[in-house]
Amino acid sequence: MAEDRQRSDNERTPDFATRLIHFGSEIDRTTGAASFPIYQTSTFHHFDLEHPPVHDYTRSGNPTRQALEDYIATLEGGARGFAFASGMAAISAACFLLSAGDHLICTEDVYGGTYRLLTTILSRMNIETTFVDMTDLEQVKAALRPNTKAVFLETPSNPTLKITDIRAVAGWAKENGLLTMLDNTFMTPYHQRPIELGIDIVLHSATKFLGGHSDVLAGLAVAATDELGVRLKQIQNGLGNVLGVQDSWLLIRGMKTLQARMEAHERSARTLASWLAAHPEIARVYYPGLSDHPGREIQEAQSRGYGAVVSFDVGSGERARRLLGRVKLPLVAVSLGAVESILSYPAMMSHAAMPPEVRAERGITDGLLRYSVGLEAVDDLIADLEQALR
């Protein structure tokens, strides 16, 4: 019986918090260093031409970047991971799995950079995109064409935090032989693991919550299968849009504290969202943790939390600009997911690439602000917003 108990303990899958620290490359096997080394090299010596080294040129592979790529694959539960120079580089690489003449179905209120890629670059390559409200599966189904090859999801969406039923869309896509890609930046693998829900490729702007400290620009992709991994590797190597080794190391360091940060971020975000929802000066609040947020039940079924991004509408562009000029604690800046709070103005920042009429159709008004709640004391964040609103 003691042997059975020992075997059971040995077979136990470690919790997420443990896997963040013990991910396979946490110790350098050569020296025992507690931090994986930065292999600051562009090329590698071939000691034996008949048996080439694992790595031969850093664009094609580097031990530091490989440690990061294995790390994110482990966290997302995928077959292979890939690190890119930015989140948009990762999304672009995934979209390059498509060919001229193909058609893509995409979340309508997607990140502005993704919208720009699809409408101004891939469109020139004869790759078409139909944007739909993915909270309605029937609209997704109605967008299917004979040349449709893929579906791109973002949930919660940016910046209005609409919730898509990942399992339902992924299941329908598989029935129709479609590739599925999902931007998991807001949730991270701590909150949401799309591959377990049927998604083929998970994407991250790792600049955000995964890095967490506003000091690294990076993108990550995880393929659910080895076959997809081979195809993504070919694109990564061919385009050369890889993440540098210094940034790979910074990202590994940042990811180790992901769970602790996300839990603290979310606690404050829920408090802030509730306060905003009760404030008479706020026209509307978007946050999946609010009881009246559309799709909350779906969010709870497919994620372990609600995240740290709260969007709210102050009623007009004039009032939004006035508030942005008065806040004292959050950065007024592009980006999100950092230890410091960041207040963004989507109409002029993250979604400036969208024409005004397109933003209006998607609910991205001139009065909409997006608050990425940091690790400051939430009472101080609320007091700061209160004085700014006054």
**CA separation for the pair 148, 182 (Å, rounded):** 16
CB 241 within 8 A of CB 92: yes
Work out the burial of residue 205: count CB atoms within 10 Å of its CB; fewer than 13 is exposed, 13-18 middle, 19 or more buried: buried
CB 197 within 8 A of CB 170: yes
The catalytic position among 183, 200, 247, 384 is 183
Residue type for position 369: L
The catalytic position among 65, 162, 193, 208 is 208
Residue type for position 106: C
Is 111 a residue of the active site?
Answer: yes
- For residue 156, say if its preceding peptide bond is cis, omega within 30 degrees of 0: yes
Q: Are strands 80-84 and 219-223 parallel, antiparallel or unpaired?
A: antiparallel
CB 121 within 8 A of CB 127: no
Structure tokens at 131: 């944007």
Cα dihedral sign for 86, 87, 90, 95?
negative
- Number of helices and strands in the chain (H, E): 15, 12
SS3 369: strand
Residue type for position 163: I
Q: Nearest to residue 183, comparing CAs of 276, 162, 293?
A: 162
If one counts every other C-beta atom within 10 angstroms of the C-beta of residue 188, the result is 26
Residue type for position 309: V
Side-chain-side CA neighbours of 209 within 13 Å: the count stands at 28
**CA separation for the pair 253, 266 (Å, rounded):** 21
The catalytic position among 80, 102, 111, 371 is 111
Is 165 a residue of the active site?
Answer: no
Length of the chain: 390
Q: What is the CA radius of gyration of the chain?
A: 22
Structure tokens at 118: 């699809």
The catalytic position among 59, 256, 319, 321 is 59
Is 141 a residue of the active site?
Answer: no
What are the angstrom distances between the C-alpha of 352 and each of 116, 190, 312? 10, 30, 18
Is 208 a residue of the active site?
Answer: yes
Active site residues: 59, 111, 183, 208
